[in-house]
Amino acid sequence: MNFFDQQLARKRQSALLLVCFAIALVATGALIHFGVALVSLLLGQSVALFEPSVPALVLIGLVWTVILFGAYFRSLDVKAGGAILARRFGAVHASDRSRYEKEQQLLNVVAEISIASSTPQPDVYILRAESSINAFVLGAEERQGHAGRYAIVVTQGALDNFDRDELQAVVAHEFGHIANGDLPVNMRLLIALGGLMAIDEVGQLLVGEEPDSLIHPGVLVGYFVIGLGSIGVFFGQLIRSAFCRQREYLADACAVQFTRNPYAMASALAVIKNHTEEPALHSIHVKELAHMCFQSGKGKAWFNRLLASHPHIQNRIDAIDPYFDVKQKKLAEKLNPGDESGVSGVSHLTPEKTIITTSDLPIGSELSDSAVVMLADTRNSVATLFALFASENAIKKRDYLSAISFAFDKQFSSRVKDVIGLIPDELSENKLALIELATIKVCQSVERSGRQSILKKLESLLSVSGEYDLMAYASLQLIRGKLDLEFPLIDTLADDHFAQGRHTKAFDEMGSEFALLLSLMIESSGASSSVQAYEFERVLKCYTMTQYPRRTCHETGIVAEVAEAFQTLYVQPKAIREAFVQHCVEIVQKDGHVARAERTLLDLFAASLGCDEHVA
Amino acid sequence: MSATLLTVLAGVVLLIAVMVVYNRLITLRNQTSNAFSQIEVQLQRRYELIPNLVETAKAYMAHESETLLAVTEARNEASSRCNAASKNPDDASLIGALASAEGALTSAMGRLNVVMENYPELRADAQMRDLGEELASTENRVAFARQAYSDSVMTYNTAREQFPAVIVANLYSFKEADLFAAEDPAMKQTVKVAFA
């Protein structure tokens, strides 16, 4: 298609858009009129079919005003340029010299593709709060004399899930839209949709993401507004479907022309295909933005396919490389030769399945029969929990046992002593399995309050006996987690009056906590000191810019600090905690060998941070 | 009367046609020269990055001074030829010389990369990791710049050789543009890895 044909096509599309918009306005008015007429019919009043009543006229006027103002404000944003628009949708500017490796990579990739496509470099924006995988490009229309400034927006989910080549392919696709001249029409479409969907967005805002109560007046109004807005949404989607979906194929083809790497493009699409649980975009602007995003999710029903803004993902993959699935399978087999099924071998390319779990790590050897039989009794199980903390030193052990007899009675103390005598090897070698089995039994037969008092007794015993080192703390916290008790149970930590206030810290101020926990984790990994230092620096960089010294578990008072660090971390959003546990798992698996101390510490971290499902 | 009007009309149409073709060729030719200058910019970026890389690597691999020296020499050679070529952009022989020097630099870098595999501490160095991303990006940029140049050369040459345009092109001496290719067959061969 040459330049003149393209210009003509663009003019035709703009005219079509204007006509559609006008029709949508009229149709909205008609629908409101009939709605009001229906209500007054039900109320038993006479109705003129082609003469809108006064309330209908007022409502139509209101809706039209909102739509026109919505479109007007969107058009102001569009005129102001891509950067302003990107900020309007909540994106932040990606900065050079960023502390996130991925962000630097994105900037580099954009620079590379702008060279490959001979396009001026656009501004780069990131939607940080978006876990969905998507990207789009915004920009003002070219004005007389100087080209419009573009902004390319990428979601955080895309940064997290794509590798470098895939990111490059997605960015190239967006550049394909620029090179094909899709932006002017896309921007006009954005203005029209911005108007038609403004009412719906107001309703979404009123209802909120998860309404606390369904009968709150604000929420009720919100649902009414959404109902009103759904007319606009319907017509908006109809308009969107009138525009050619072939542009996506064209942009995909352009992306391949720029990168000369069809495999990466297909693999990026495959990543999205396998991410079934994520919507295309979480933002409330999703309906406005859908037509220019990299992907629009998957519609299964026929009407979804009819109204979809994008072709089906599998069709796009097939258009780029019909044999992609076969190639991917072959590659996966080459990488994991032991994997015979092939189907599960693909999983290394689909990020949601690559979450490393520790379930495949060795838990330790099986328990002996005598231990299993013994732990079938509840009292023995409780005694075992206490026996776990008995010292190997004979004098210390005697003190510990006498403390137990003081806290409970002589009978229980001798039972603990019996347990120690019966399974001395397992107590020192196989703590994890013992804790696992004993806590299951205790959970089954002891009530919650009883379990709480057991844990409190254990905690006070430990602080008295002076055996409160990091491993003891780890075991205690693990037991706490397995007994299904709340985290801030332990009294001694909470007696500080200001403790609660101190524990709610902002993410930026938590560098020292992260540094402390990470250094302990890394220390237990048993790698060489240079590798430890490097790992520490690499992972810490993800959390804070400030340099913190590495700590060791031999420092005095470290347990109290660790406990406090956990309390601080525990109130952080789940995503942060999960990311942290994920890093710890990576550290542990780095050398391909999982030591017992590592495993214990890891379980402790996960349990203390409420991310147990990763370590299940 | 009508004959003269017809002649004038035909003349005007011919003039407009020549003008359109001429302008199109000018646009395409400028695009190719712009694409070529883009290669130079990216090559310069690469030349600036290499000394940093060598400095960082030196601290870890004192025994590989030969490899490092080879990289530095290849870099200096390529850098000076790039400067010469950018001063005389029309001289095809200078561009050929630059292409072969670039080939030598690429193979020296390849050797360095292979040697670096033996130094895990070096690969673990934080500065080295940053440099690694920069270097990967720069290699991509150089490759993409060459690709964009080749594409624009192809578009220009095709437009120049097509029928009505070829007359205008010869009339106003639009020369054929050169592809940026390694002339020396020795430079095209892949890096050989010898295990001692």
Instruction: Measure in Å the smallest separation between the Cα of A577 and chain B Cα atoms.
Output: 25
User: Where does B18-180 sit in CATH, by number?
Assistant: 1.20.1440.20
Domains annotated on chain A, with CATH? 85-320 (3.30.2010.10), 324-354 (no CATH), 369-485 (no CATH), 499-615 (no CATH)
Looking at residue A448, its amino acid is R
- For B14, the token pair is 């011919």
Q: Best residue in A118, A258, A532 to probe B by mutation, most B CBs within 10 Å?
A: A118
Burial (CB count within 10 angstroms: exposed 0-12, middle 13-18, buried 19+), residue A348: middle
pLDDT at B13: 94
Q: Report how far apart, in Å, the C-alpha atoms of A218 and of each of A75, A214, A225, A285, A400 are.
A: 29, 9, 10, 21, 61
Which residues have a Cβ under 8 Å from the Cβ of B161 and sit 6 or more positions away?
B169
pLDDT at B10: 95
Q: Where are the alpha helices (DSSP H) in A408-497?
A: 410-422, 424-429, 431-445, 448-465, 470-482, 491-494
pLDDT at A142: 58
Give the residue from chain B lying closest to A529, CA to CA. B121
Which residues of chain B does A117 touch, with a Cβ-Cβ cutoff of 8 Å?
Answer: 148
- The partner residues of A92 in beta bridges, in order of sequence, read A126
Question: What is the strand order of the sheet A92-93 is part of?
Answer: A92-93, A123-127, A150-155, A135-139
How many A/B residue pairs have CB atoms within 8 Å?
47
Which residues have a Cβ under 8 Å from the Cβ of B85 and sit 6 or more positions away?
B40, B91, B94, B95, B97, B98
In 3D, which of A516, A517, A513, A451 has the Cα closest to residue A484? A451
pLDDT digits (tens, 9 = 90+) for B106-161: 888 888 888 887 887 777 777 787 788 888 888 889 889 988 988 899 989 999 99
Q: Report how far apart, in Å, the C-alpha atoms of A444 and of each of A345, A409, A429, A440 are.
A: 39, 23, 25, 6
Can you give the residue ranges of every domain in chain B?
A: 18-180
pLDDT at A597: 67
ipTM: 0.81
CA-to-CA distance for A577 and A571, rounded, in angstroms? Answer: 9
Cβ of B141 within 8 Å of Cβ of A534? The answer is: no
Largest CA distance in chain B: 91
Cβ of B148 within 8 Å of Cβ of A117? The answer is: yes
Q: Which is it for the CA torsion A309, A312, A313, A315, positive or negative? A: negative
Point out the residues of chain A with pLDDT beneath 70: 1-4, 6, 96-99, 140-148, 209-215, 244-245, 276-277, 297-308, 337-369, 426, 428-429, 463-470, 486-509, 524-527, 545, 552-558, 571, 591-597, 600, 607-608, 610-616
CA-to-CA distance for B1 and B10, rounded, in angstroms? Answer: 14
The helix (run of H) or strand (run of E) holding residue A151 is strand A150-155
pLDDT at B15: 93
**CB-based contact A215:A266 (threshold 8 Å):** no
In angstroms and rounded to an integer, the radius of gyration of the C-alpha atoms of chain B is: 24
Residues composing chain B: 196
Cβ of A115 within 8 Å of Cβ of B34? The answer is: no
CA-to-CA distance for A149 and A140, rounded, in angstroms? Answer: 6
pLDDT at A351: 38
Give the residue from chain B lying closest to A537, CA to CA. B126
CA-to-CA distance for A349 and A592, rounded, in angstroms? Answer: 21
**CB-based contact A479:A503 (threshold 8 Å):** no
Burial (CB count within 10 angstroms: exposed 0-12, middle 13-18, buried 19+), residue A598: buried
Give the residue from chain A lying closest to B140, CA to CA. A112
Across the range B17-24, mean pLDDT stands at 91
Mean of the per-residue pLDDT values for chain B? 82
- Cα-Cα-Cα-Cα dihedral of A466, A472, A476, A482, to 10°? -160
